[in-house]
Amino acid sequence: MSQDALFDRIVELCGFSAYVGPGAVRRALAEAGQEADGGPEAYRAALPALKRRLEVYVSEDDAAARLKKIETFLGGVEARGGAVAPTPAGQQGDDETQWGKRRFGRTVQILKSARGKLDPKD
Protein backbone atom coordinates (compact mmCIF):
# COMPACT_ATOMS: atom_id res chain seq x y z
CA MET A 1 0.00 0.00 0.00
CA SER A 2 1.19 3.47 -0.76
CA GLN A 3 1.25 5.58 2.39
CA ASP A 4 0.99 8.64 0.16
CA ALA A 5 -2.26 7.29 -1.31
CA LEU A 6 -3.66 6.77 2.19
CA PHE A 7 -2.65 10.27 3.27
CA ASP A 8 -4.06 11.84 0.09
CA ARG A 9 -7.38 10.02 0.48
CA ILE A 10 -7.73 11.13 4.12
CA VAL A 11 -7.04 14.73 3.07
CA GLU A 12 -9.65 14.39 0.32
CA LEU A 13 -12.25 12.94 2.70
CA CYS A 14 -11.73 15.85 5.09
CA GLY A 15 -13.00 18.13 2.35
CA PHE A 16 -10.35 20.76 2.94
CA SER A 17 -8.87 22.70 0.07
CA ALA A 18 -5.61 21.38 -1.38
CA TYR A 19 -3.86 24.27 0.36
CA VAL A 20 -5.22 23.66 3.88
CA GLY A 21 -5.79 19.90 3.93
CA PRO A 22 -2.31 18.37 4.02
CA GLY A 23 -1.11 20.64 6.82
CA ALA A 24 -4.25 20.11 8.90
CA VAL A 25 -3.95 16.33 8.64
CA ARG A 26 -0.20 16.38 9.42
CA ARG A 27 -0.79 18.55 12.49
CA ALA A 28 -3.59 16.25 13.69
CA LEU A 29 -1.27 13.25 13.30
CA ALA A 30 1.54 15.05 15.14
CA GLU A 31 -0.80 16.06 17.98
CA ALA A 32 -1.73 12.38 18.37
CA GLY A 33 1.96 11.39 18.33
CA GLN A 34 1.56 9.63 14.98
CA GLU A 35 3.20 9.79 11.56
CA ALA A 36 1.60 9.70 8.11
CA ASP A 37 3.34 6.40 7.35
CA GLY A 38 1.80 4.73 10.41
CA GLY A 39 -1.06 3.17 8.47
CA PRO A 40 -4.76 3.21 9.30
CA GLU A 41 -4.08 2.89 13.03
CA ALA A 42 -2.24 6.22 13.03
CA TYR A 43 -5.17 7.99 11.42
CA ARG A 44 -7.63 6.38 13.85
CA ALA A 45 -5.54 7.70 16.74
CA ALA A 46 -5.59 11.17 15.16
CA LEU A 47 -9.37 11.34 14.63
CA PRO A 48 -10.08 13.42 17.78
CA ALA A 49 -7.45 15.99 16.76
CA LEU A 50 -8.73 15.96 13.20
CA LYS A 51 -12.28 16.55 14.46
CA ARG A 52 -11.16 19.67 16.32
CA ARG A 53 -9.53 21.00 13.16
CA LEU A 54 -12.58 20.25 11.04
CA GLU A 55 -14.85 22.08 13.47
CA VAL A 56 -12.87 25.27 12.91
CA TYR A 57 -14.04 25.29 9.29
CA VAL A 58 -17.38 23.44 9.26
CA SER A 59 -20.33 22.82 11.56
CA GLU A 60 -20.18 20.12 14.21
CA ASP A 61 -22.65 17.98 12.25
CA ASP A 62 -20.65 18.35 9.04
CA ALA A 63 -17.44 17.47 10.88
CA ALA A 64 -19.11 14.36 12.31
CA ALA A 65 -20.28 13.31 8.84
CA ARG A 66 -16.79 13.74 7.41
CA LEU A 67 -15.24 11.76 10.27
CA LYS A 68 -17.77 8.97 9.67
CA LYS A 69 -16.64 8.81 6.04
CA ILE A 70 -13.01 8.65 7.17
CA GLU A 71 -13.77 5.89 9.70
CA THR A 72 -15.64 3.88 7.06
CA PHE A 73 -12.75 4.33 4.64
CA LEU A 74 -10.19 3.26 7.24
CA GLY A 75 -12.27 0.17 8.02
CA GLY A 76 -12.21 -0.72 4.33
CA VAL A 77 -8.45 -0.23 4.16
CA GLU A 78 -8.00 -2.53 7.15
CA ALA A 79 -10.35 -5.12 5.65
CA ARG A 80 -8.35 -5.10 2.41
CA GLY A 81 -5.12 -5.67 4.30
CA GLY A 82 -3.92 -2.10 3.88
CA ALA A 83 -4.81 -1.59 0.23
CA VAL A 84 -6.24 1.82 -0.61
CA ALA A 85 -9.10 1.58 -3.09
CA PRO A 86 -9.20 4.19 -5.85
CA THR A 87 -11.44 7.20 -5.39
CA PRO A 88 -14.89 6.50 -6.83
CA ALA A 89 -15.60 8.39 -10.04
CA GLY A 90 -17.33 11.67 -9.47
CA GLN A 91 -16.11 12.02 -5.89
CA GLN A 92 -12.74 13.54 -6.55
CA GLY A 93 -11.90 17.05 -5.44
CA ASP A 94 -12.40 18.87 -2.21
CA ASP A 95 -15.59 20.63 -1.20
CA GLU A 96 -14.21 24.07 -1.99
CA THR A 97 -13.25 23.02 -5.50
CA GLN A 98 -16.62 21.41 -6.10
CA TRP A 99 -18.41 24.50 -4.80
CA GLY A 100 -16.35 26.68 -7.14
CA LYS A 101 -17.17 24.49 -10.14
CA ARG A 102 -20.89 24.60 -9.34
CA ARG A 103 -20.81 28.37 -8.82
CA PHE A 104 -18.89 28.96 -12.05
CA GLY A 105 -21.28 26.70 -13.95
CA ARG A 106 -24.30 28.58 -12.62
CA THR A 107 -22.74 31.94 -13.56
CA VAL A 108 -22.15 30.70 -17.11
CA GLN A 109 -25.78 29.55 -17.33
CA ILE A 110 -27.02 32.97 -16.25
CA LEU A 111 -24.81 34.78 -18.72
CA LYS A 112 -25.87 32.50 -21.59
CA SER A 113 -29.55 32.99 -20.78
CA ALA A 114 -29.07 36.77 -20.77
CA ARG A 115 -27.27 36.79 -24.13
CA GLY A 116 -29.22 38.82 -26.63
CA LYS A 117 -31.60 40.15 -23.99
CA LEU A 118 -29.33 42.98 -22.93
CA ASP A 119 -29.16 46.14 -24.99
CA PRO A 120 -25.60 47.49 -25.11
CA LYS A 121 -27.05 51.02 -25.23
CA ASP A 122 -28.46 50.67 -21.69
Query: Would you place residue 120 in the very low, low, confident or very high pLDDT band (cuts 50, 70, 90)?
Result: low
Question: Which residue would you say has higher pLDDT here, 89 or 72?
Answer: 72
Ordered by start, the domain boundaries in the chain are: 3-114
* Residues contacting 8, CB < 8 A, separation 6+: none
Asked if residue 100 has pLDDT above 80, the reply is no
pTM of the model: 0.66
* Residues contacting 46, CB < 8 A, separation 6+: 25, 28, 29, 31, 32, 34
Distances from the Cα of 50 to the Cαs of 16, 44, 54, 58, 60, in angstroms?
11, 10, 6, 12, 12
Q: What was the pLDDT predicted at 70? A: 93
